[in-house]
Amino acid sequence: MIYVFLAITVLSIIFAFRLKKPLLLSVPFVAIFGFMMIQVAMVPLGFFETIRFIFSLR
């Protein structure tokens, strides 16, 4: 999975410089956020219970 995020990062940097669109540099952050949301959604609890559980871990 790390290679997928690495590829997304490298491609977004290349396209950001080629197309001169700095907004493309936000694509890796959006991808990681989306991945985290998918992982949270896979937990069999409700959304807010899952968030409470994640933040209550020490």
pLDDT in tens, 12-31: 999 999 999 999 999 999 99
Phi and psi torsions of 42, nearest 5°: -80, -15
pLDDT in tens, 40-51: 888 888 888 888
CB-count exposure of residue 38 (10 Å: 0-12, 13-18, 19+): exposed
Supply the pTM of this predicted model: 0.72
The two tokens of residue 47 are: 């959304």
